[in-house]
């Protein structure tokens, strides 16, 4: 546990932003990527996970993240913020270029160990999320399902949503565990998510270099 706290609260560098068509960084570090529909809260979750307010750019308007961003945690783990999918107002050409860039990354990245698929707690799985989980399984990538913005639901609304989500997950192959409900705004679920990410990326080597 001590090592996890050290990793997620230590030195963080934004090392690389890769726009569509550009190369990806050459790095030996294990990676965890965050994916999900546009505006689901990927960049906010990354900030909460690494205890930063504004390192990853967030926005009320969907389509905020257009490049693939790499964050180096203590030369030990790379966090990758991916552009969202399903944003209808972006031009077809631009969204196709972004989607292609993301698929290239997912399909050709041996150091990528796990992908967190973010789903809005209020809406549950959309077809595009199910498709993403299936695609990740096809690429041989394990996924962690993270429900976001759970502060927007009342306590009594959480149970039926959790049941629906659990039923949807039974139909999907690949996810590592039951869905984890989180709130970046209130900090719910962050310790658990840090543990899951750590286990899936560094669990075998258990090394923190500095
Ligand atoms: N209430 C609440 N709002 C949140 C939470 N997480 C994110 N938001 C809000 O949701 C909006 C989108 O958040 P982002 O983190 O930019 O979402 P994203 O998935 O990175 O979006 P794209 O980069 O456009 O795909 C922002 O207005 C955030 O403040 C949360 O846990 N609770
Ligand atoms: Mg973003």
Question: 23: domain CATH number?
Answer: 3.40.50.300
| Confidence tier at 206 by pLDDT (50, 70, 90) | very low
| Confidence tier at 89 by pLDDT (50, 70, 90) | confident
**CB–CB of 106/85 below 8 Å?**
no
Question: How many domains, the chain?
Answer: 1
**What stretches of the chain adopt beta strand conformation (E)?**
12-18, 31-36, 68-73, 77-81, 112-120, 143-148, 180-181
The reported pTM is 0.92
What per-residue confidence (pLDDT) applies to 210?
Answer: 45
Domain that residue 41 falls in: 2-201
Question: Does 210 reside within a domain?
Answer: no
Q: Compute the half-sphere exposure of residue 57: CA atoms within 13 Å on the CB side of its CA.
A: 15
Cβ(42) to ligand 1 under 6 A?
yes
| Atom 8 (ligand 1) nearest CA | 41
Element (H, E) at 159: helix 155-171
Nearest to 128 by CA among 38, 47, 14, 52: 38
* Ligand whose nearest atom lies closest to the CA of 39: 1
Question: Does 186 reside within a domain?
Answer: yes
Question: Does 44 reside within a domain?
Answer: yes
Residue 120 alpha carbon to ligand 1 centre in Å: 10
What per-residue confidence (pLDDT) applies to 187?
Answer: 93
- For residue 45, the SS3 value is helix
For residues 201 and 115, give the distance between their C-alpha atoms in angstroms, rounded to a whole number.
Answer: 10
For residues 130 and 126, give the distance between their C-alpha atoms in angstroms, rounded to a whole number.
Answer: 7
Question: Does 207 reside within a domain?
Answer: no
Residue 158 has pLDDT above 90, yes or no: no
Nearest to 198 by CA among 185, 187, 208, 184: 208
Residue 29 alpha carbon to ligand 1 centre in Å: 27
Residue 36 alpha carbon to ligand 2 centre in Å: 9
Among 35, 39, 101, residue to substitute to test ligand 1 (most atoms within 8 Å of Cβ):
39
Cβ(69) to ligand 1 under 6 A?
no
The whole-number average pLDDT for the span 159-166 is: 85
The whole-number average pLDDT for the span 92-102 is: 91
Percent of the chain with pLDDT strictly greater than 90: 59
Question: Does 113 reside within a domain?
Answer: yes
Question: Does 208 reside within a domain?
Answer: no
The whole-number average pLDDT for the span 134-142 is: 92
**What stretches of 24-152 adopt beta strand conformation (E)?**
31-36, 68-73, 77-81, 112-120, 143-148
> pLDDT for 7-58, tens place per residue?
998 888 888 889 999 999 999 999 999 999 989 999 899 999 998 777 777 7
What per-residue confidence (pLDDT) applies to 1?
Answer: 44
Residue 210 alpha carbon to ligand 1 centre in Å: 32
């Amino acid at each position: 546990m001590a090592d996890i706290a050290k990793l997620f609260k230590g030195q963080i560098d934004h090392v690389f932003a890769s726009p569509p068509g550009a190369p990806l960084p050459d790095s030996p570090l294990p990676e965890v990527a965050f994916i999900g529909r546009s505006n689901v809260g990927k960049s906010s979750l990354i900030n909460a996970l690494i205890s930063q307010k504004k390192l990853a750019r967030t926005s009320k308007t969907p389509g905020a993240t257009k490049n693939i961003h790499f964050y180096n945690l203590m030369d030990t783990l790379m966090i990758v913020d991916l552009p969202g999918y399903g944003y209808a107002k972006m031009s077809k050409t631009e969204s196709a270029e972004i989607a292609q860039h993301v698929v290239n990354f997912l399909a050709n990245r041996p150091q990528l160990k796990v992908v967190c698929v973010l789903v809005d707690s209020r809406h549950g799985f959309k077809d595009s999320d199910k498709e993403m989980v299936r695609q990740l399984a096809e690429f041989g990538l394990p996924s962690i399902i993270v429900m976001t913005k759970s502060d927007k639901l009342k306590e009594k609304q959480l149970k039926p949503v959790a049941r629906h989500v659990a039923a949807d997950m039974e139909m999907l192959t690949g996810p590592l565990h039951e869905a984890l409900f989180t709130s970046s705004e209130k900090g719910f679920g962050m310790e658990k998510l840090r543990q899951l990410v750590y286990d899936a990326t560094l669990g075998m080597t258990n090394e923190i270099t500095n």
